Chains A and B, each alone.
Chain A
Amino acid sequence: MAGYTLGGALNRALRDALAADPDVVVYGEDVGRLGGVFRVTDGLGAEFGEDRCFDSPLAESGIAGTAVGMAMYGRRPVVEMQFDAFAYPAFQQVVSHVAKMRNRTRGRVELPLVIRIPYGGGIGAVEHHGDSSEAYYAHTPGLRVVTPATASDGYSLLREAVESPDPVVFLEPKRRYWARAELDLPVRTAPMDRAVVRRPGADLTVIAYGPTVDTALAAAEALAEEGREAEVVDLRSLSPLDDETVAASVRRTGRALVVHEAHEFGGFGAEIAARMTERCFHHLEAPVLRVCGLDVPYPPPHLEEFHLPSADRILDAVDRLQWESSWVPGASGPRPEASRTEVGA
C-alpha cells in the first residue's frame, strides 16, 4: 500500500490521463513550471512537454473559451481555475457555451472537457479564496458537477471526468488536498454519477459531499458513542444527482440531514431536502434539516470556524431530528400541541 494525499492522487490521475490519451491537454494559470498553486499539476509539464501541460494568460473566461474551441477540434482539455471565486469571469462561457454546445448543435458538437476548481474554505485564506460555488454550476443543465471527498475517489472521478463525453465541472475540496490515505493507484471506484454510503447506520441519514464528508463521518463517530447510528452518504456527483441512493437510505432511516459549506439559502441542500420530501414523505419522522455555511459572505479567516459546518453543529441538528423538537421558534407559528398521531385526524 502506498500513501497518497488527495492532491497527489489528482496529480497521478492527470498524469495517467495524459499518458493514456494524446488528445488530453492540461492548462491554466501557473499549472506549468510551478505545478499549480496547490501542486496538482506538479511535474506534468516536465514529463509531457509544453504542448500537453502549459501556462495560459491570466484570464478565466479565455481559459474556458479556448477549451471550448479545443474540444470542438477533438482535444480533451482539462483546465484549472486557480480558485473558486476567481472562476466567475468564466461563468458566461461555462453556462452559455460549455453547458449548451451539445444541445445547441443537436448533439453534433460535444465538448469533452473538464474544468477543475479548488473550492471551499477552511484553509485560513483571505477573501475570495473560500467560496463554495457548486449550486451555480449544478443548477445548469448540460454540466456534470462532481466533487471527490477521498484520495481514491479523487483519482477515479478525475479519470472518469476526463473520459466523459460531457463537460465536467470538477470541484476539488481544497482543505482536503493534504489529507493522506493508504491506497494503490490506479484505482477505479464507483461510477461517476453514483452516490455511495460511506458508513452504514439505521437511525438517520447524513448527506454530505466534498469537504463535509469527513465532518459527517466524525459526527457519526461521536453519535455512535451515544448509541445512535448515522448513515453517511457521500453524493460525489451533484449533477446528475443519484437521488435514488439517497432516497433508499432515507427510507431506511426516516431522518435526513444535509451538510455543506455553501450558504444555506438556495444552496444545494435545499434541492436534497425538496427531493427527499417528495420521494420519502411517508417515511420521514422529521423534517429534512440542513447544516450549512452562514448566509454571509465567506468570513475572514479568524471567523471562519463559525461559518463552517462542524461535527458539533451536526450533533445539534441531529437532536432536532425528532418530531417533537423540530419546531423552530418564530418560524413555525404557534407551537403545535397535537402529537403526531393526531395531526390530520
Chain B
Amino acid sequence: MTTSDAPPVAALPLPSLEPLRLIDDDGCRTAQPHRAGFDLPDTETLRMLLRAMVVGRRFDSQAAALAKQGRLAVYPSSRGQEACQVGGVLALAEQDWLFPTYRDSVALTARGVDPVEVLTLLRGDWHCGYDPKAYRCAPQCTPLATNASHAVGLTYAARRKGSDTAALVLMGDGATSEGDAHEAYNFAAVWNTPVVFLIQNNEWAISVPLHKQSAAPTLAHKAVGYGMRGYHVDGNDAAAVHAVVARALAEARSGGGPALIEARTYRTEPHTNSDDPTRYRDEAEADRWRRRDPLARLEALLRSDDAVDDAQLAEYASRAERLAESVRTRLAHEPHRSTDELFSHVYAEPTPALRRQRAGVREAAARAERGGASNGGR
C-alpha cells in the first residue's frame, strides 16, 4: 500500500550571497555575474519606474509633512524604499492582487489607488479607505506577516476558478521572524500557489537590527527550506527589483510555484513620525544609504542613455507636485465622521444589541454637536 504520493524532489539553487544588481550605485550598468542572467528592463519600463518613484517620493514627503502638522494620526515613511515598492507593484498584471502593509502607501499609489484613500488609515478616518476589490489590493496590514496567508488562500481559490491571478505580498525583515510568515511560505509551497513574497529588508525592525532578527545567510535563503525559489536582489535598484519580481510572477503564474525575494534596502527615515532613530542607530549609516538613492541611480542611467531629458524630468516633478497639492487640498477639511458607521459593518446586519448601542452613541454625538460637554444637557 502506498502511504504517500509525494512528487519527486527537485534541488533548488541557493540564492547568491551578493544581491543581484542591474544598475550600480553610480547609475552604470553592472556586468555579469552581478546580473545573474537577468536583463535590464526596456527603456519605456525604466522611465515608467522613474516617474512612479518620483511621484511616490513626493507623496511620501507630503504625507510625512501632514503627519508633522498633525493632519495624520501617524505616518510610517518608506523614503529610500521606492525601488522595492514601485519596482514590485509595476510588475503586477491587471488581475493580480497586492497585499501591502502599513509602510507600503507608495506601493498603493503606484498601483493606482487614490492617494487620499490610501491615507484614510493613517489619517485615522477609517481602517481602510479604498475598495480592495476595485484595486485588487488587500487592506494595509498592521499585524506583521498575517496577510501573507491571505494571499495564498486567494490565489489558491483563483486557480480553482480558472483564473491565473497571482499575488505580491509585501513584508519587512522583522515580519520574517513571525510564525505567520513561516506558515504562509509553507502553505504556498505545498499548494504551489502563485504568490511572490517580497521582503523589503530595510535593516531595522523599529530599533532592532537584522543580525538580531535572523541568523540566516540571507533572508532569501529561507526559501530553499520551504521548497521554493529564493532571490536576493538590491532593493535600491528599481530595474533589478522589477526584473526579479516580473520573472517570479511569470514563473508562479505558469505553475512554477511561489517565490521569496529579499530586497536589500534601507529605511532612511524614522520608523514613524513618533520614532527617534538616534537612540538606536548611527546617522552615518543612514547617510551611506542615502548615497545609494534609488531615484538618483535610475535617473543617472537614463540620462547617460539619453533616454530621459530635463523636460521629461520636469514633467515628472510637476506631476508629483500636482498630486501633493491635491492631497493637501483634499485633506484640508475636517474629516466627515459618521458614528452610525461604527455599527454598520460589524455584521451583515446590526444585531439588536448593536442597534441599542448605536442609539446611545447617536445621542452622545448629538449632544457633542450642540456643543455640550460629554455630560451636557444633564
B41 at the interface (CB under 8 A from A): no
A57 to B83, CA, bound (A): 34
B143 at the interface (CB under 8 A from A): yes
Bin chain B's interface residue count: 35 or more
Please choose the segment from A107-115, A305-313, A318-326, A332-340 that sits at the chain B interface, where 4 or more of its residues have CB less than 8 A away.
A107-115
Please choose the segment from A98-106, A219-227, A258-266 that sits at the chain B interface, where 4 or more of its residues have CB less than 8 A away.
A98-106
Interface pair A142/B184, CB less than 8 Å apart: no
A residues 72-128 near B (Cβ < 8 Å) are 72-75, 77, 89, 92-93, 96-97, 100-110
A106 to B152, CA, bound (A): 23
Interface pair B348/A96, CB less than 8 Å apart: no
Interface pair B150/A68, CB less than 8 Å apart: yes
Please choose the segment from B8-16, B155-163, B327-335 that sits at the chain A interface, where 4 or more of its residues have CB less than 8 A away.
B155-163
> Which residues of the other chain, A, contact B149 by a CB distance below 8 angstroms?
61-62, 64-66, 68-69, 93
Q: Which residue of B lies closest to A54 (CB)?
A: B191
> Which residues of the other chain, A, contact B155 by a CB distance below 8 angstroms?
69
B224 at the interface (CB under 8 A from A): no
A73 to B156, CA, bound (A): 9
Please choose the segment from B25-33, B123-131, B268-276, B360-368 that sits at the chain A interface, where 4 or more of its residues have CB less than 8 A away.
B123-131
B148 at the interface (CB under 8 A from A): yes
Interface pair B146/A108, CB less than 8 Å apart: no
Q: Which residue of B lies closest to A104 (CB)?
A: B127
B341 at the interface (CB under 8 A from A): yes
> Which residues of the other chain, B, contact A77 by a CB distance below 8 angstroms?
153
Interface centre among B158, B347, B348 (most CB of A within 10 A): B347
A243 to B351, CA, bound (A): 12
Q: Which residue of B lies closest to A102 (CB)?
A: B345
Interface pair A166/B348, CB less than 8 Å apart: yes
> Which residues of the other chain, B, contact A342 by a CB distance below 8 angstroms?
none
> Which residues of the other chain, B, contact A240 by a CB distance below 8 angstroms?
347, 351-353
A104 to B125, CA, bound (A): 11
A277 at the interface (CB under 8 A from B): no
> Which residues of the other chain, B, contact A3 by a CB distance below 8 angstroms?
none
Chain B, residues 152-178, CB within 8 Å of chain A (1/0): the string is: 111111101100010000000000000
Interface pair A72/B187, CB less than 8 Å apart: no
Interface pair A108/B153, CB less than 8 Å apart: no
Interface pair A62/B157, CB less than 8 Å apart: no
> Which residues of the other chain, B, contact A68 by a CB distance below 8 angstroms?
149-150, 153
Given contact pairs A62-B183, A62-B184, A72 touches B150 in the complex (Cβ within 8 A)? yes
**A146: min CB distance to chain B, Å:** 13
B370 at the interface (CB under 8 A from A): no
A289 to B97, CA, bound (A): 52
Q: Which residue of A lies closest to B126 (CB)?
A: A106
A67 to B155, CA, bound (A): 11
Interface pair B153/A59, CB less than 8 Å apart: no
A301 to B147, CA, bound (A): 39
Q: Which residue of B lies closest to A56 (CB)?
A: B187
How many residues on A have C-beta within 8 angstroms of the other chain's C-beta atoms?
46
A residues 42-64 near B (Cβ < 8 Å) are 51, 56-57, 59, 61-62, 64
Q: Which residue of B lies closest to A105 (CB)?
A: B128
Q: Which residue of A lies closest to B139 (CB)?
A: A104
Interface pair B133/A108, CB less than 8 Å apart: yes
A54 to B154, CA, bound (A): 16
Q: Which residue of A lies closest to B129 (CB)?
A: A106
A141 at the interface (CB under 8 A from B): yes
A244 at the interface (CB under 8 A from B): yes
Interface pair B345/A107, CB less than 8 Å apart: yes
**B3: min CB distance to chain A, Å:** 11
B359 at the interface (CB under 8 A from A): no
> Which residues of the other chain, A, contact B353 by a CB distance below 8 angstroms?
240-241, 243
Interface pair B139/A105, CB less than 8 Å apart: yes
> Which residues of the other chain, A, contact B345 by a CB distance below 8 angstroms?
102-103, 105-107
Interface residues of B (CB under 8 A from A): 126-128, 131-133, 138-139, 143, 146-158, 160-161, 165, 179-180, 183-184, 186-187, 190, 341, 344-348, 351-353
Interface residues of A (CB under 8 A from B): 51, 56-57, 59, 61-62, 64-75, 77, 89, 92-93, 96-97, 100-110, 141-142, 144, 164-166, 193, 240-241, 243-244
- Other contacts beyond A57-B187, A68-B150, A73-B165: 12, CB < 8 A: A57-B183, A65-B150, A66-B152, A69-B151, A73-B157, A75-B157, A92-B180, A104-B139, A105-B128, A165-B348, A240-B352, A240-B353
11 sampled A-B residue pairs with Cβ under 8 A: A59-B183, A65-B148, A93-B146, A97-B146, A97-B150, A102-B345, A104-B128, A108-B131, A109-B132, A144-B347, A164-B348
10 smallest beta-carbon distances between A and B, as pairs: A69-B153, A65-B149, A66-B153, A62-B183, A69-B154, A73-B157, A69-B150, A240-B351, A104-B127, A165-B348
